[in-house]
């Protein structure tokens, strides 16, 4: 096993990477492309663990590591040829890594199962065949929201001006980031874009073949926008935003419906919505993947992590959880 700086990878290394990725559709997500990792590496160094039939891009700090793109990568994990088995501890020790934490590990790695502490749902939309195909697969709740979005699109056109959807907008990323930061502030969530490195990554991806910025306007008014990344028929729904001023038009659903309609022309058959069980994801999903949270560590560290996660889970389940959250926001 070798740990190679991303910038030192050879053509043969990239050929191995792409061959493994093409061997299994579970790695169709753009997060597993060399192009995504290249964009990440240009802002934060990536080292790649390479072996026979094995590729895993990582961020290494001292003797600790995380999957490349953390904490922004919504799917993580090594690319492994069929039949290849590995011992996570031995693998890491061979390249000087003592601990590796993950929070969006794609489920299904048998050798990493013992190190998984929690599993979460990551919904997706099968949009094969566009809107007609999608509405045949989604449940009644999702169909109803799509019908409502059509009606509200017409209402927005009457009230605000002609509705225009641009699937591949060439400007407006600044506005998306600003609206997303406003959303983080209003909900008390951690501001992902407080770190300039994360903003810069979006601009690099925007200028690449992976990035896709889509917008919906009604007259001169921006209703909603989304920036995501795409590869091999998969669009990852990453940073959706909407203008709160026009919230009564359900602008997020208007945008999502337009994207489903546009999917066949883009060659998109699946929209990954990312980890979480937000209401819109539950309604829009036609299926789901599973992602895992955990760490490969020493025995004592593993026990401590499990105890810590158990304590957090108990606190969330407590009747006073809402008051605790409010207190945390107050002093954040």
Pairwise CA distance, residues 72 & 136, whole Å: 32
Q: Identify the structural domains of the chain with CATH numbers, from first to last.
A: 2-121+290-297 (3.40.630), 128-268 (3.40.630.30), 298-332 (no CATH)
Pairwise CA distance, residues 254 & 249, whole Å: 8
Name the residue among 254, 252, 249 with its Cα closest to residue 240: 252
Q: Convert the pLDDT of each residue in 111-136 to its tens digit.
A: 999 999 999 999 999 999 999 999 99
Q: Between the CA of residue 81 and those of 86, 110, 229, 241, what are the distances in Å?
A: 11, 13, 25, 38
Q: Between the CA of residue 119 and those of 4, 72, 123, 230, 276, what are the distances in Å?
A: 30, 18, 13, 24, 11
Overall average pLDDT of the 176-204 stretch: 96
Q: Convert the pLDDT of each residue in 207-254 to its tens digit.
A: 999 999 999 999 999 999 999 999 999 999 999 999 999 999 999 999
Query: What tokens does 266 get?
Result: 């883009």
Indicate the pTM of the whole model.
Answer: 0.89
Name the residue among 120, 81, 125, 124 with its Cα closest to residue 102: 120
Pairwise CA distance, residues 106 & 219, whole Å: 41
């Amino acid at each position: 096993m070798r740990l190679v700086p991303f910038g030192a990878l050879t053509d043969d290394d990239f050929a191995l990477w792409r061959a493994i990725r093409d061997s299994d559709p579970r790695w169709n997500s753009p997060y597993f492309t060399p192009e995504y990792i290249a964009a990440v590496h240009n802002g934060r160094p990536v080292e790649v663990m390479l072996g026979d039939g094995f590729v895993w891009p990582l961020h290494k700090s001292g003797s600790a590591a995380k999957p490349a793109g953390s904490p922004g990568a919504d799917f993580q994990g090594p690319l492994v040829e069929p039949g290849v088995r590995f011992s996570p501890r031995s693998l890491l020790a061979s390249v000087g890594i003592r601990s590796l934490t993950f929070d969006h590990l794609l489920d299904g790695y048998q050798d990493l199962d013992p190190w998984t502490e929690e599993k979460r749902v990551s919904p997706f939309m099968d949009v094969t065949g566009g809107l007609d195909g999608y509405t045949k697969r989604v449940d009644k709740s999702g169909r109803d929201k799509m019908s409502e979005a059509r009606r509200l699109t017409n209402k927005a056109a009457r009230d605000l001006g002609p509705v225009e959807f641009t699937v591949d907008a060439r400007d407006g990323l600044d506005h998306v980031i600003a609206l997303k930061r406003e959303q983080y502030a209003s909900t008390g969530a951690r501001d992902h874009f407080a770190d300039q490195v994360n903003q810069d990554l979006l601009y690099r991806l925007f200028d690449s073949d992976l990035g896709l910025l889509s917008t919906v306007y009604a007259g001169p008014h921006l209703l909603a926008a989304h920036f995501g990344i795409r590869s091999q028929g998969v669009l990852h729904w990453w940073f959706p935003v909407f203008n709160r001023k026009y919230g009564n038009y359900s602008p997020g659903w208007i945008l999502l419906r337009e994207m489903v309609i546009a999917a066949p022309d883009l060659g998109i058959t699946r929209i990954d919505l990312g980890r979480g069980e937000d209401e819109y994801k539950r309604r829009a999903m036609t299926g789901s993947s599973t992602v895992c949270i955990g760490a490969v560590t020493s025995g004592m560290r593993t026990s401590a992590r499990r105890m810590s996660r158990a304590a957090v889970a108990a606190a969330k389940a407590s009747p006073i959880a809402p008051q605790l959250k409010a207190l945390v926001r107050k002093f954040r």
